[in-house]
Structure formats: C-alpha cells, structure tokens
C-alpha cells in the first residue's frame, strides 16, 4: 500500500514560532547551542539529545543514522558506540562527519560539521560504568552491524550473561567506546513564514569563529 501522492504534496504549514535576532547574535556558537539544547529538553526531554550522524565510507557512499549526544562543550560533541560498527569503519577511512539535530516542536535545526577522534580510555570507561546493567550486557552481546539470522533471539544470550555477571562488575569491552566530533562549522536554522527561514552560520577560521547569514 502506497501513500497517495497528493497526500504528500499537500502537507503544508507555516513556521512561525520563533526567529533569530541577527542584530544581537552570540559570539560563540557553543553558547547558542547550549541555549537551543536547553529549550529542546524543555519540550522533549527524552529525544532532545538525539541527532543524525552522517558518515562516508571509503567508496564515498554516505550513511546516516540516529545516535545520542552524551557530552558537549567547546572541545566538541561526544557520542559512544561499538568500534566495530559500520559508522566506526566509515570514520576510520574518513573522519569527516556531519551531525544534524532537529526539534520540530521548536521549528529549529542545528547542522554541525567536524572531524572525529576517539576519546580517551578513561572517558569511555567512566561513561560505560554509568550505563544500566542491561545496557552493559547489550554492548557485550551485540556484534554491531554484523549480519545475523532473521530469527536470532538475544534473550537467551542476555539471560546467560546475567547469570555469569550476577555478582561481578562488567568491564568495558575493548571494541566499545566514545568519539568526539571536533567541530569546525555550525548552522543554526529557524523555521520562518513563507519558507524564508533564518540561517545563522559559524565557520572556524584560524581558531576564531566567524558568523555569517545564509539566504533561505
């Protein structure tokens, strides 16, 4: 069953919830990011830190997936994953990535571009230790991005691991840890009426952030 073409074509509404005051913009994109992410948590505390991470493999084929931001400061944006995953293999061959946050309730979007590096083992260990027990087991059981049978059931695997680690601490697997995106570009997008959206960009030039406005 396909969605009627006219139904898709006729989905229309105007963006009118907010605007960007270009006369008094933040000097630092990190300050503006913090303001917007706080607003996002106010309207969607469960998904505000979710973003689309886009990578490119060695054959220049792009891939995108939703991941969770677990840290953010002027050093960069941190997320955690399996180092054997598809995204990690892409990063190994090309560490240029983009990240895209979209909060429809606010009609806001932030696009980020940067280069990825592994975080320290200490940072990965500390975050892994903070994870729920079941999530730690999941990191051990799942060989992320590998092909498995359609009827594969992880329940038995988890059940056995629960028994094995019942009274033991779970150490972080060596193939699991964090990455940090060293950001060199931000675009802050605010939906506006008549599709005349506000676009505020920050480029990192000679270690200084330079602001500019883009046409919608």
Active site residues: 195
Torsion, CA 190, CA 191, CA 194, CA 196, rounded to 10: 30
φ, ψ of residue 38 to 5 degrees: the values are: -65, -40
Query: Around 216, how many Cα atoms within 13 Å sit in the side-chain half-sphere?
Result: 13
Partners of residue 117 on adjacent β-strands? 180
Contacts of 92 (CB under 8 A, 6+ apart): none
User: CB count, 10 Å around CB of 13?
Assistant: 7
CA atoms within 13 A on the CB side of 175: 16
Residue 29 burial (CB count, 10 A): 24
């Amino acid at each position: 069953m396909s969605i009627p073409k006219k139904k898709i074509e006729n989905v229309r509404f105007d963006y009118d919830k907010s605007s960007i005051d270009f006369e008094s913009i933040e000097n630092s994109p990190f300050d503006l990011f913090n303001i917007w992410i706080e607003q996002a948590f106010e309207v969607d505390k469960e998904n505000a830190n979710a973003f689309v991470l886009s990578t490119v493999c060695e054959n220049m084929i792009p891939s995108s997936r939703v991941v969770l931001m677990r840290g953010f400061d002027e050093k960069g944006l941190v997320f955690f994953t399996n180092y054997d995953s598809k995204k990690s293999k892409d990063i190994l061959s090309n560490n240029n990535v983009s990240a895209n946050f979209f909060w429809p309730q606010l009609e806001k979007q932030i696009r980020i571009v940067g280069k990825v590096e592994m975080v320290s083992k200490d940072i990965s260990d500390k975050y892994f230790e903070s994870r729920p027990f079941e999530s730690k087991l999941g990191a051990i059981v799942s060989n992320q991005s590998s092909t498995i049978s359609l009827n594969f059931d992880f329940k038995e695997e988890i059940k056995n691991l629960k028994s094995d680690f019942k009274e033991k601490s779970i150490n972080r697997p060596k193939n699991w840890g964090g990455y940090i995106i060293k950001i060199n570009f931000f675009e802050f997008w605010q939906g506006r009426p008549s599709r005349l959206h506000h676009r505020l960009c920050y480029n990192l030039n000679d270690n200084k952030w330079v602001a500019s406005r883009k046409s919608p």
